[in-house]
Amino acid sequence: MRKSFTVAVGAALAIAVAGCGSETDGNGSAADAAADPSVDIPGIEIVDYPAGDHVGASERVAYEYSPPFGGPHDAAWATCTGIVYPVPIRSENAVHSLEHGAVWITYDPERLSEEQVDLLAARVDGVSYMLMSPYPDPAQPISLQSWGHRLFVEDADDPRIDQFIEALRLNPNTYPEPGATCATLPTNFDPANPPPFQPIP
């Protein structure tokens, strides 16, 4: 049996934020912005992750970031066909969905009103290559993830949410597996009974 993977992003991966650092300042080059318009979104985090590193269904990944937005992941991806999950889901499955071009919205139900949650869900429900779930104790009330990209916001009205989705959902320049599906077989991942969230070890 393979050992669980530990992601040492700080040592193995380069954080790209308008060149270096932890957040973009909106000054990405014209070439960068053409391929990845998200480089101009204030506050975005961008990390260069290698693709295709799978772990087994019983294995855990010690992600450096919470919520994670790249790195080793389960061989089965979370169904990302516009599903609004009512419960937290296993990060290792959700990260694989990002590899397929999806955007994963997570939120803290303790810090958002029902109206705010509904505003987020309206952006996801029935929209292909989108998924949403609660996420326990995040740094900010709302976090958006795509492969190698993350953005924290405090309010569901923040215009950067739509900018993030527009720039990164199915952007073939920003994720490893263009053309990969977001649908899954229930034998691989059942959206009606998803693998439960587990804290990062």
Rounded mean pLDDT of 81-99?
98
Q: Is 125 helix (H, G, I), strand (E, B) or coil?
A: coil
Domain interval for residue 77: 5-168
Residue 100, in any domain of the structure? yes
The pLDDT score that the predictor gives to residue 111 is 96
The pLDDT score that the predictor gives to residue 33 is 78
The whole-angstrom separation of Cα 159 and Cα 156 is: 8
The model's pLDDT over 37-62, given as tens digits with 9 standing for 90+, comes to 999 999 999 999 999 899 998 899 99
Residue with more model confidence, 124 or 198: 124
pTM, two decimal places:
0.85
Q: Is the pLDDT of residue 17 over 80?
A: no
Residue 180, in any domain of the structure? no
Residue 188, in any domain of the structure? no
Domain count, the chain: 1
The pLDDT score that the predictor gives to residue 201 is 76
Q: Which residues, listed in sequence order, are joined to residue 130 by a DSSP beta bridge?
A: 81, 103
Residue 153, in any domain of the structure? yes
CA nearest neighbour of 83 among 133, 131, 134: 131
Residue 93, in any domain of the structure? yes
Residue 174, in any domain of the structure? no
- How buried is 78 (Cβ within 10 angstroms: 0-12 exposed, 13-18 middle, 19+ buried)? buried
The model's pLDDT over 94-124, given as tens digits with 9 standing for 90+, comes to 999 999 999 999 999 999 999 999 999 999 9
Residue 182, in any domain of the structure? no
Q: Is 144 helix (H, G, I), strand (E, B) or coil?
A: strand
pLDDT band at 189 (very low <50, low <70, confident <90, very high): very high
Residue 186, in any domain of the structure? no
